[in-house]
Structure 1
Amino acid sequence: MTSTGAGELLQAEAELWCHAFGYLKSMALQCAIKLGIPNAIHRCGGAASLPELHAALPVAASKRPCLSRIMTFLAASGIFGVETPEDGEVTGVRYHLTAASRLLVEDESGSGGHACLSQLVLLIMTPIHFRASQSLADWLKDEDDAAAAETPFMAAHGASFYGFASRDAEFGACFNEAMGSDSRFVAETMVRECGPVFAGLTSLVDAGGGDGTTARAITRAFPHVRCSVLELPHVVDAAPADGTVEFIVGDMLEFIPPADAVLLKFVLHNWSDEDCVRILKQTKEAISTREPKGKVIIIDVVLGSSSCKQIREAQLSLDLCMMMLFPGKQRGEQVWHKMFLEAGFTRYKISPVLGSRSLIEVFP
């Protein structure tokens, strides 16, 4: 057995501290969003000193020294950038937005700027999610509980994720807003980077497309594509009807209306492999008469699609999240391939152009 030196052990201790205190990164980020720090820095032209933040934020005067410590922590975590004056004077330190914190800035002008992901981040940090994660070990150990509760979320809250969201109005609203912001973010990137995917299409069904955010973005960017959204009754009832897209009530496990293409955006990771194959078979029926144009467009995680350490960690975090919330999971290419074959498809193309997620085109 190889002996471990004192230096290595102390480094290991520091590593354990970082893991054990990892939740503080989440809580500090939550604090920054709730105080409006990204918006305040944006209003100051993209960089702000501590005195400027003190003036702009609802922080009690007696607790302003604590804000400096939180900003130092968030800057060390990469959420904000920091510029320190040569004399080291604290009041001269300026914090600026990074690519990550720019995604937390609200579009106050109403000019249709980039999507703000603050609500998505806050959803992930809710006590409701946190309690589900605290149930993970007990859920794994308890045979009886595993049989009664399909997920740690169900073990913690006595209901499925969507069941809980339907009965808790505040959480349900938070979830809907978060999913809407994520859809706007992905749609902006997709229509900008993936235009050729929609070439030659005249119709598209967004199965499980929520309030139609993604379908509307596709219609605006590609007017030649007529878009429909397939959703459950309560989702359609709440969706805004502006005539841009058609809403169709239905269950994708049972039927998907015919179209040149079917879009499944961040849908299949919620489901087991067996249910995914059922859904994919329905999509194949929907596009089978539309060949050679017919295809299924999937936006989802393909584990291992990137060599970037941060993207890999994000993908594995999403996989663990799915295990806690739903019976689904994130999948590597081998599993995707197997499901496509079982559903009757012959070929597919994976394009890792959406960060942690990939765009997958599947053909009959």
Structure 2
Amino acid sequence: MAEIGAKHEELLQAQAHLYKHTNYYANSMSLKCAVELSIPEIINHHGKPMTHSQLVLSGWIKGGEGGTPLEAAHGKGIWDYGLEHPDVSNLFNEAMAGDSSVVSSVLVTECKAMFEGVTSLVDVGGGIGVIGRAIAEAFPHIKCHVLDRPQVVASCKGRENLEFAAGDMFQGIPSADAVLLKWILHDWNDEDCLKLLKRCREAIVSKEKVGKVIIIDIVMDHKGGNHDSTELQLMLVMMLVISVDGRERSEHEWEKLFMESGFTSYKITPLAFRSVIEVFP
């Protein structure tokens, strides 16, 4: 994939800058938590510097019944909470749609080579179909399917080469030349990611053709980022710790998932604070 043009690079950097300011409260909240958890005292009593791994693996963070702070506060995970509170679910879907409008404009103009030879695509967890619709309009020869939960796609209307399907991505994904996962895998732990990636591999491998998986997600410490991107990545790490049983991953961690789920190679292209990862069987 060619380098992103100046116009879209500026748009992506502006988005990262805006997200950083939107999530700035995470800095002060993290400092508050550090003080309440007596982290300065823990380090001081240790008698010498501590690595991040030593600190995270310390006994003080292992207590409790497990789960996320959101589960502790509401008694259920974020997805189940959204089922019971449509207003929260709608707000989440609108936020993801807004983000996807920026990403889709870059994909269909700057990443055309990525779709060469692709005649069918499934956007897994594609929400109300912003990216799927953009791809369908930009590439009329591609038959696009958007797969998401029934309550998300119930009122979505397709077009000639765009269809919406209700289903559970962990149970099965329709066969296609390409499977798209935008900001999906970081919501899940490694075990669930392996299950989902294996489903993706099943969907793109057929007797006639072998396709690919396109992942849009964060690659921690990958070259190409700037200070805003790095700071935002760390803020999003904190958001995931609070809300879901997921994580942001380094290239090494991504590669481990790919190899363990049956893939053989991948290609990473930086996209501001995120990256596009093309994964091949």
The one of 134, 139, 145 aligned to 2:64: 145
Higher mean Cα deviation, 270-279 or 152-161?
152-161
| Aligned counterpart, 2:106 | 189
Q: Is the 8 A contact 2:180 2:213 kept in 1?
A: yes
1:328 to 228, 235, 246: 246
Higher relative contact order (CA 8 A, sep 6+): 2
1:246 is paired with a residue whose SS is strand
Residue 97 of structure 2 corresponds to residue 166 of structure 1: no
Q: How many residues align?
A: 248
Rounded to whole Å, the distance in 1 between the matches of 2:72 and 2:111 is 40
Which of 260, 263, 267 is the equivalent residue of 1:349? 267
Amino acid at match of 2:264: T
Aligned AA (1:320): M
Structure 1 unaligned blocks of 5 or more: 1-97, 104-116
Structure 2 length-normalised TM: 0.77
| Matching of residue 239 in structure 1 with residue 156 in structure 2 | yes
The alpha-carbon deviation at position 185 of structure 1 amounts to 1.2
**Residues 308 and 121 of structure 1, relative CA distance in 2, 3 Å threshold:** closer
Q: Superposition RMSD on alpha carbons, in Å?
A: 3.2
Counterpart Cα distance in 2 of 1:123 and 1:332: 24
Q: 1:222 offset after TM fit, Å?
A: 1.0
Tell me by how many angstroms 1:316 deviates. Answer: 1.4
User: Which of 216, 221, 224 in structure 1 is aligned with 2:138?
Assistant: 221
Q: Which amino acid aligns with 2:100?
A: S
- 236, 239, 248: which one pairs with 2:165? 248
Q: Secondary structure at the match of 1:145?
A: coil
Cα separation, 1, equivalents of 2:21 and 2:93 = 12
- Quick one: distance in 2 between partners of 1:269 and 1:248? 22
Percent same amino acid at aligned positions?
41
Unpaired stretches in structure 2, ≥5 consecutive residues:
1-9, 38-58
Q: State the alpha-carbon separation in 2 of the partners of residues 357 and 333 from structure 1.
A: 12
Task: Give how far 1:191 is off.
Answer: 1.1
CA distance in 2, matches of 1:263, 1:198: 11
> Where does structure 1 differ by over 3 angstroms across 4 or more consecutive aligned residues?
98-103, 120-126, 130-138, 140-146, 240-244, 290-293
Structure number with larger C-alpha Rg:
1
CA distance in 1, matches of 2:114, 2:125: 19
Match of 1:50 in 2: none
- For 2:105 and 2:253, the matched residues in 1 are separated by 28
Task: Tell me if the contact between 1:301 and 1:356 (Cα under 8 Å) persists in the aligned partners.
Answer: yes
- Aligned partner of 1:295: which letter? K
Instruction: Give the TM-score normalised by the residue count of structure 1.
Output: 0.60
Report the CA distance between 1:224 and its aligned residue: 1.2
- Alignment match of 1:297 (pick from 183, 200, 214): 214
Give the CA deviation at 1:346.
Answer: 0.6
Alpha-carbon deviations, 1:285-337, whole Å to 9, x = none?
A: 11111665510111100111234121111111112211111100110100000
